[in-house]
Amino acid sequence: MSTEYTVTETLDVKGESCPMPVVKTKQAIDSLNEGDVLEVLATDSGSVSDIAGWAETTDGVELLDQQEDGDVFKHYVRRTE
């Protein structure tokens, strides 16, 4: 696992289901500065593909990593602009 980033803020969307993890991730990323990294904690397995797809189609964000930790899915998203 790459540790070349420092988490700036953590967003807890555990218990939320689609589309809320992506909606709240977008809101949180919008409030961060360029280069900041958002850690998203989710329990919805659909968030893995949802957040990956959102990051891929959204300018200014980069999906750094996704991990499964028990029943929690961790997503790391960097604001790039």
Radius of gyration of the chain (CA): 11
Catalytic residue at 18?
Answer: yes
Which helix (H) or strand (E) element contains residue 47?
A: helix 46-57
3-class SS of residue 9: strand
Contact 32, 38 (CB under 8 A): yes
Active-site pick, 7, 10, 14, 18: 18
Q: Catalytic amino acids?
A: 18
